[in-house]
């Protein structure tokens, strides 16, 4: 029979061997888990490099690899990266974008050049000697030798024959829009203008003003004989059947608003605009329209200037 110490030594040996075997098993398991984790990371890299979601690169997906490895739904993680602004384009894509931006700049440049060329080609030459722009005011009276060929509008009213067609067009257009226009004054001779001016002076003097005061005040609304555009046959006083007073109120009527907005299409301008009294020397007259031709009329109206300003360069 073997001594007790023999069996004790065997037991110690068995326990030692068993502990070694267990250590190997644990190490193998740890290494296997680490390999699996590495494999999952590699898989993420693979997906990242092949996905076409916003051109995300593999490095983008490794900004938080541990969190990525814990995700059950890789698509959800990719979407989160996209929402967080992870979007590195390849150099090829960047070149494409640069080319696109370059072409866009070229297009803008070409459009700008085309617009500039168009504006230059459409720039209107202001010719003070053009009959359309003939300036008549207190400083520029109608030439003594001025002659006008008149054409009848209706009744006893006449205008320069060169503008009568546009007058009819304007009247017809207003009528089509339901606007009632009524021409109450057109061409006036020197004698007729003198009568109107003297009547104005006498009326003001009857109100207590001196002759000089009456002359100064009166010439702001009734032009001095020889300085009236009506003598050119190019001016019209226009009212409407429902409003026959020559005052500021006409500008607020349907007819007054229609004329202000549309008369330029037929060659007419509001000759004495509000706010230009110091320049024109005449009060605001929303009923007085002067023919200058369609091209000039539209340009003057768009610039918001009076005729005096326009002839000085549109300042």
CATH class of 131-188+228-311: alpha beta
Instruction: Give Cβ neighbours of residue 132 (< 8 Å, ≥ 6 apart).
Output: 291, 292, 293, 296
Say whether pLDDT at 191 is over 50.
yes
Q: Name the percent of the chain in helix, strand, coil, to the closest 5.
A: 60, 10, 30
CB atoms within 10 A of CB 259: 26
pTM of the full predicted structure? 0.62
Reply yes or no on whether 123 is catalytic. Answer: no
The model's confidence at residue 313, banded by pLDDT at 50, 70 and 90, is: confident
Q: How many CA within 13 A on the CB side of residue 274?
A: 9
The domain spans of the chain are: 4-83, 131-188+228-311
Residue 221: the pLDDT is 93
Can you say whether the dihedral through the CA atoms of 164, 170, 174, 175 is positive or negative?
A: positive
For residue 111, the model assigns a pLDDT of 56
pLDDT at 154: 86
Banded pLDDT at 172 (limits 50, 70, 90):
very high
Q: Summarize the confidence of residues 111-116 as an average pLDDT.
A: 51
The DSSP element (H or E) to which 239 belongs, if any, is strand 235-239
Q: Which one of 285, 295, 302, 309 is the catalytic residue?
A: 285
Q: What is the pLDDT of residues 86-95, one digit of tens each?
A: 444 444 444 4
Mean pLDDT (the chain) is: 76
């Amino acid at each position: 029979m073997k001594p007790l110490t023999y069996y004790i030594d065997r037991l110690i040996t068995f326990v030692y061997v068993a502990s070694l075997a267990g250590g190997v098993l644990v190490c193998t398991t740890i290494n296997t888990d680490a390999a699996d984790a590495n494999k999952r990371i590699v898989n993420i890299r693979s997906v990242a490099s092949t996905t076409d979601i916003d051109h995300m690169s593999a490095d983008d997906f490794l900004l938080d690899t541990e969190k990525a490895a814990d995700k059950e739904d890789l698509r959800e993680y990719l979407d989160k990266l996209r929402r967080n602004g992870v979007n590195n384009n390849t150099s090829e894509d960047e070149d494409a974008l640069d080319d696109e931006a370059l072409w866009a700049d070229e297009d803008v440049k070409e459009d700008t050049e085309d617009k500039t060329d168009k504006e230059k080609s459409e720039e209107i030459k202001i010719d003070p000697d053009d009959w359309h722009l003939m300036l008549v005011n207190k400083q520029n009276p109608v030439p003594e030798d001025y002659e006008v060929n008149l054409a009848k509008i209706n009744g006893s009213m006449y205008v320069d024959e060169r503008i009568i067609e546009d007058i009819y067009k304007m009247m017809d257009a207003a009528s089509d829009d339901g606007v009632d226009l009524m021409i109450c004054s057109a061409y006036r001779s020197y004698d007729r203008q003198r009568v109107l001016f003297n009547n104005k002076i006498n009326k003001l003097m009857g109100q207590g003003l001196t002759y000089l005061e009456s002359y100064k005040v009166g010439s702001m609304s009734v032009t001095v004989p020889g300085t009236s555009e009506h003598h050119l046959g190019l001016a019209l006083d226009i009212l409407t059947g429902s409003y026959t007073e020559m005052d500021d109120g006409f500008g607020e009527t349907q007819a007054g608003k229609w004329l202000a907005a549309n008369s330029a299409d037929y060659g007419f301008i509001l000759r004495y605009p509000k706010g230009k009294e110091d320049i024109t020397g005449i009060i605001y007259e929303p009923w007085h329209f002067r023919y200058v031709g369609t091209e000039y009329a539209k340009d003057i109206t768009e610039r918001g200037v009076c005729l005096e300003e326009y002839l000085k360069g549109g300042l």
